[in-house]
């Protein structure tokens, strides 16, 4: 085989193009029932009385009283109930399921249900802090005391909806011994399995989770399916029938997790000779009605508080606020997009305030190998950002455009963001929480089975993992087998999240393949396994946020050119250029797919995608009202990958999944800022907001 980066056809191209791929909604099991969720219609209050219609034979409701184990969804922080009991905390909170064989009958029954509430005043503001973190680096106190000038701004970011094409869906089956099998659209088979085990109070062998082909996820199928699967498993236990539950689009958009809205307050201490002495930042994220993963999202945001820059003195704090709104959760980037938007805007706003060219200021503080990170860890590996920035400026003709666009009467702007993304779980999560195990099994026909729980949700893992194994073992691709994960057959290699799959799981798979190569005996059944070991030099103090927050970082530069119509304030994307260091691409075209999709999702977050919660209800709950970019909105895009192999990744690969999203919003916001000549503080930068800025904004 040639260089590992040389593109090959994705192995699922054909089944997806010709329609033979089996998604969860394609699955039917003889005698299958359907489930519909009955939800709270208020934002906060007590359930006084539930009046049900006369239930026909074979129709039943399933609620918290039916849960054999604990009424809580097992995720990192256990405060999400499977079904509400006597009170509700957000509009759309699940109270019970109606289950039965005919959807029309279920719809009729649903109309006859009456739930009486005693309403309480809901909280929609950032007042109830449920998690607070803070940490320091250097001596921010003296930095601010000695400052000649303090610059402060607040940055606000909105919701973002994953808007995977395929909504949430699960099918459960139950056998005569009571073993439940859940097949669904999900990212983390073992999160689901563990959640269901706890809810059913079952033995390990009584729950099986199988991934169906996933039609997009973006983090939206990280922790959320743990809720729907536990509900269905409880229902199957009660009724003893296979049951299917597929969300409708509006239901999906109203009640599933989204990117956390945030408010980020930044302060910089500036010396007489225009040095940045230190930063103080205060981050608030809106968790919705329960904490779930929000603490982890917050910590990733806080750790990114200096972006790609080295700032010596820091005081960082942040809170997760509970509000009576739909719970927020994982979304590609996981707290970093909010923070990187704030940091990139802030660096530009500081430069303007102290009259320095933003490019010069940023270059001066750009992190170098050996520098201390925001948490006093060390950037151990080479950083090639200077070359990347040069390359990006060269291919976009950045400097000339800056000059041209500054002229009177030109409504164009060009914005450049620099960013990094920590690969893998934050801190020591990989070793303490996940402890990934992978296996390779060679059967008697010399076929090699890749046994991992990693889910291909379009990002190409089924292709890239096979590529790694076949290259190391020097066998053809079709001699490797990677079936959709099934917890009865694959070990827990961890969730498919956090840009960890190629670097961590792929790294373990590569090591296992090398082991297998050594032990290879023709026509013999051999199984090898590898377990994650934290590199010795990585140290992390979770309590105090001190040490190496991530084993490695991927880096990127995005440049976006826009034109803003002076009559309608609408933004037209003209061109996008990107340069990434992801170590080494395992397949160039697959990475380009991530790059094109990721940047449009990031730019969409920055200028287009409006989602508001009005009186506790999501106002944009269908694809007509929630606007994401179409192909007509998408400009020409140019992407350059620069090799910078990471010694512990397979062939030097690092994470690529989230990196391509996180720089989009600041790049487009900066381009718009330049086009209109007013500072931008909020995303999305909609025409409505641009109009307001032009009327009353700051230069």
Partner 1 sequence: MVKNIIPTSLNEALELLNDRPFKIMAGGTDLMVQRRAWSQTPPEFIEDVLYIFNLEELKYIKEDKGFIVIGSTTPVEDLLHNDLTPFLLKEAIGIMASPALRHMATIAGNIGNASPAGDTLPILYVLDAIIVLESIEGIRELPINEVITGPRKHVIKQNEIIKEIKIPISVYTDSVFEKVGGRKADAISKLSFTGAVNIKDDKVLDFRIAFGAVSATILRRKEIEEKYVGLTKEELIGKVDEIVNEYDPFIRPIDDQRSNKEYRKTVALNLLKNFIITL
| 3-class state of residue 604 by DSSP | helix
How far apart (Å, rounded) are the C-alpha atoms in residues 61 and 54? Answer: 11
682 is a contact residue toward partner 1 (CB under 8 A) = no
Handedness of CA 487, 422, 548, 647 (dihedral sign): positive
Backbone angles phi, psi at 206, to 5 degrees: -95, 0
CB distance 642 to 581 below 8 Å: yes
CB of 110 to partner 1, least distance (A): 9
Integer Cα distance of 495 and 385 in angstroms:
30
**Minimum CB distance to partner 1 smaller for 499 or for 620:** 620
The single residue among 625, 643, 677, 698 that binds partner 1, judged by CB under 8 A, is 625
For residue 684, cis peptide bond before it (omega within 30 degrees of 0): yes
Q: Identify any residues that bridge with 132 across adjacent strands, giving them in sequence order.
A: 319
x/- track of binding to partner 1 for residues 447-476 (CB under 8 A): ------------------------------
Measure the CA–CA gap between 464 and 233, rounded to whole angstroms.
33
Asked if 636 is part of the footprint of partner 1 (rule: CB under 8 A), the reply reads no
Instruction: Give the C-alpha separation, 4 to 46, whole Å.
Output: 59
Residue 596's Cβ-side half-sphere holds a number of Cα atoms within 13 Å equal to 13
| Contacting residue, 134, 570, 643, 677, with partner 1 by CB under 8 A | 570
Shorter beta-carbon distance to partner 1: residue 138 or 687:
687
Q: Tell me the backbone φ, ψ of residue 414, rounded to 5 degrees.
A: -130, 130
With binding defined as CB under 8 A, does residue 91 bind partner 1? no
Window 29-48: residues binding partner 1 (CB under 8 A)? 36
3-state SS of 465-481?
Answer: HHHHHHHHHCCCHHHEE
Q: Which of 620, 644, 678, 682 binds partner 1 (CB under 8 A)?
A: 620
Phi-psi region of 497 (alpha: psi -120 to 50; beta: other; left: phi over 0): beta
Locate the DSSP E strands across 365-445.
412-423, 437-442
Residue 687 binding partner 1, by CB under 8 A: yes
Closer residue to partner 1 (CB): 395 or 691: 691
Q: How many residues bind partner 1 (CB under 8 A)?
A: 30
The span from the CA of 691 to the CA of 55, in Å, is 55
The residue (of 253 and 656) whose beta carbon lies closer to partner 1 is 253
Residue 619 in contact with partner 1, rule: CB under 8 A: yes
152 contributes a contact to partner 1 by CB under 8 A: no
536 contacts 647 by C-beta, under 8 angstroms: no
- 608 near partner 1, judged by CB under 8 A: yes
* 612 forms part of the interface with partner 1 (CB under 8 A): yes
Q: Is 568 in the site for partner 1 (CB under 8 A)?
A: yes
**Closest distance to partner 1 from the beta carbon of 630 (Å):** 5
627 binds partner 1 (CB under 8 A): yes
Which range binds partner 1 by CB under 8 A, 76-84, 103-111, 253-261, 280-288? 103-111
232 part of the interface to partner 1, by CB under 8 A: no
Instruction: Write down the least CB distance from residue 103 to partner 1, Å.
Output: 5
Distance in Å, CB of 24 to partner 1, minimum: 13
Q: Cβ neighbours of residue 447 under 8 Å, at least 6 residues apart?
A: 479, 480, 481
For 633, residues 6+ apart whose C-beta sits below 8 A from its C-beta are 573, 608
108 forms part of the interface with partner 1 (CB under 8 A): no
**Contact region for partner 1 (CB under 8 A) — 207-215, 305-313, 528-536, 565-573?**
565-573
By CB under 8 A, tell whether 699 contacts partner 1.
no
Contacts of 364 (CB under 8 A, 6+ apart): none
Q: In whole angstroms, what is the distance from residue 585 CA to residue 568 CA?
A: 42
- Binding part of the chain for partner 1, among 101-109, 150-158, 259-267, 278-286 by CB under 8 A, reads 101-109
Give the residue with the Cβ less far from partner 1, 592 or 627. Answer: 627
Question: Would you count residue 630 as binding partner 1 (CB under 8 A)?
Answer: yes
Question: Which residue is listed with tokens 């980037």?
Answer: 333
Residue with tokens 């297998």: 516
Closest distance between partner 1 and the C-beta of residue 602, in Å? 16
Q: In whole angstroms, how close is the CB of 608 to partner 1 at the nearest point?
A: 6
Find the binder of partner 1 among 118, 152, 248, 404 (CB under 8 A): 248
Taking CB under 8 A as the binding criterion, the range among 204-212, 352-360, 496-504, 569-577 that sits at the site for partner 1 is: 569-577
- For binding to partner 1 (CB under 8 A), which residues are involved? 25, 36, 103-104, 106-107, 246, 248, 567-570, 572, 608, 610, 612, 619-620, 624-625, 627-633, 687-688, 691
């Amino acid at each position: 085989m040639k260089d590992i980066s040389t593109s090959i056809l994705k192995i699922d191209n054909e089944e997806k193009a010709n329609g033979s791929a089996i998604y969860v909604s394609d699955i039917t099991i003889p005698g299958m029932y359907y489930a519909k969720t009955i939800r709270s219609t208020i934002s906060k209050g007590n359930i006084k009385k539930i009046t049900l219609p006369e239930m026909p034979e074979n129709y039943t409701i399933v609620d918290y009283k039916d849960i054999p184990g604990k009424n809580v969804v097992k995720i990192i922080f256990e405060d999400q109930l499977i079904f509400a009991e006597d009170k509700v905390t957000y509009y759309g909170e699940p109270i019970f399921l109606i289950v039965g064989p005919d959807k029309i009958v279920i719809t009729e029954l649903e109309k006859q249900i009456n739930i009486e509430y005693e309403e309480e005043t809901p909280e929609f503001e950032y007042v109830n802090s449920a998690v607070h973190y803070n940490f320091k680096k250097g001596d921010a106190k003296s930095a601010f005391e000695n400052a000649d000038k303090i610059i402060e701004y607040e940055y606000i970011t909105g919701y973002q909806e994953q808007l995977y094409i395929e909504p949430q869906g699960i099918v459960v089956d139950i056998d005569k011994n009571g073993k439940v099998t859940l097949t669904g659209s999900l990212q983390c088979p073992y999160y689901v399995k563990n959640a269901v085990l706890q809810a059913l109070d079952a033995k390990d062998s009584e729950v099986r989770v199988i991934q169906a082909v996933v039609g997009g996820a973006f983090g939206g199928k990280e922790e959320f399916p743990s809720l729907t699967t536990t509900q269905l498993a409880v229902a199957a236990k009660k009724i003893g029938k296979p049951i299917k539950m597929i969300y409708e689009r509006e239901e999906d958009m109203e009640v599933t997790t989204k990117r956390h809205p945030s408010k980020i307050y930044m302060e910089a201490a500036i010396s007489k000779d225009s040095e940045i002495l230190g930063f103080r930042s205060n981050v608030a994220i809106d968790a919705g009605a329960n904490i779930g993963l929000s603490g982890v999202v917050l910590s990733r945001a806080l750790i990114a508080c200096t972006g790609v820059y080295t700032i010596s003195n820091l005081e960082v704090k942040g809170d997760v606020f509970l509000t009576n709104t739909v719970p927020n959760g994982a979304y590609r980037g996981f707290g970093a997009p909010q923070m990187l938007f704030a940091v990139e805007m802030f660096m530009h706003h500081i430069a303007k305030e102290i009259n320095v060219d933003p490019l010069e200021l940023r270059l001066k503080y750009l992190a170098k190998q050996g520098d201390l990170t925001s948490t006093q860890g060390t950037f151990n590996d080479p950083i090639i950002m200077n070359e990347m920035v040069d390359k990006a400026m060269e291919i976009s003709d950045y400097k000339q455009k800056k000059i041209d666009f500054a002229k009177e009467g030109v409504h164009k702007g060009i914005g450049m963001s620099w960013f990094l993304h920590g690969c893998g779980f934050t801190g020591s999560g990989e070793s303490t929480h996940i402890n990934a195990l992978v296996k390779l099994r060679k059967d008697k026909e010399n076929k090699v089975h890749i046994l991992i729980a990693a889910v291909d949700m379009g990002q190409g893992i089924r292709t890239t993992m096979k590529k790694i194994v076949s290259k190391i073992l020097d066998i053809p691709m079709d001699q490797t087998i990677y079936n959709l994960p099934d917890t009865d057959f694959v070990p827990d290699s961890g969730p498919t999240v956090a840009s960890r799959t190629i670097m961590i799981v792929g790294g373990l798979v590569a090591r296992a393949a090398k082991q297998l190569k050594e032990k290879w005996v023709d026509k013999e059944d051999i199984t090898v396994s590898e377990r994650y070991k934290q590199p010795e030099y990585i140290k992390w103090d979770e309590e105090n946020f001190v040490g190496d927050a991530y084993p490695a970082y991927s880096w990127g530069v995005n440049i976006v050119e826009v034109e803003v119509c002076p009559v309608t304030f609408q933004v037209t994307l003209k061109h996008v250029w990107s340069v990434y260091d992801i170590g080494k691409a395992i397949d160039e075209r697959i990475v380009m797919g991530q790059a094109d999709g990721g940047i449009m999702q990031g730019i969409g977050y920055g200028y287009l995608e409006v989602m508001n919660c009005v009186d506790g209800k999501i106002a944009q709950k269908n694809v007509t009202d929630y606007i994401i970019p179409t192909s007509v909105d998408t400009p020409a895009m140019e992407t350059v990958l620069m090799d910078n192999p990471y010694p512990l990744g397979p062939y030097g690969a690092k994470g690529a999944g989230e990196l391509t999203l996180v720089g989009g919003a600041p790049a487009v916001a900066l381009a718009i800022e330049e086009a209109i000549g007013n500072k931008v503080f909020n995303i999305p930068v909609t025409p409505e907001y641009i109009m307001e800025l032009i009327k009353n904004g700051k230069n």
